[in-house]
Amino acid sequence: MNFGKNCKTLRESRGMSQSELADKVGVRPPMINYIEAGTKLPSLALGLRIADILGTTVDELCRGDLCA
């Protein structure tokens, strides 16, 4: 699963910091760091909020190859 890597790629392409994304989705910044590092997977609800903020889908975050 590429969720963390794809999340980081999209977040950075939108010029957003981890803190900004965390504020927008309602979590603390370390959670975004854990997700991007692959240490934790988000809940479905959090994954949906992240996808909405980044303008993509959970499917694209999970299965897309945005890092290629």
Q: What is the pLDDT of residues 38-67, one digit of tens each?
A: 999 999 999 999 999 999 999 999 987 665
Domains of the chain: 3-62 (1.10.260.40)
Contact by Cβ (8 Å): 42, 3: yes
Task: Give the whole-angstrom CA distance, residue 45 versus residue 59.
Answer: 13
What is the arithmetic mean of pLDDT over 19-23? Answer: 98
Task: Give the whole-angstrom CA distance, residue 7 versus residue 63.
Answer: 11
- What pLDDT does residue 1 have? 60
